[in-house]
Amino acid sequence: MLLAILLPPLSMILNGHILKGILCFILQVTLIGWIPAAIWAVVSRSQDLAEKRHQETLRVLAEQGRA
């Protein structure tokens, strides 16, 4: 999460969002764009983690349904 705040474009690229990372870098280069870029990276990271938890829950439920 600290990486998403300090280096938003790098955080997005490491999470597999190459195009978003490039756009975030362009936004961060502007003087007022760094704060929105950091917020965008944190929200994106949170959504990725929520999606991962959701997929894990669906996998567990599917395994329980087979048993």
Tell me what pLDDT residue 46 has. 93
Copy the structure tokens of residue 29. 């280069």
Helix (H), strand (E) counts: the chain:
4, 0
Q: What is the pLDDT of residues 12-61, one digit of tens each?
A: 898 888 998 898 888 888 877 888 888 989 999 999 999 999 999 999 99
Residue among 31, 39, 37, 45 at smallest CA distance from 9:
37
Count Cα atoms within 13 angstroms, Cβ side, for 16: 3
pTM for the model stands at 0.74
Residue among 22, 24, 13, 23 at smallest CA distance from 48:
13
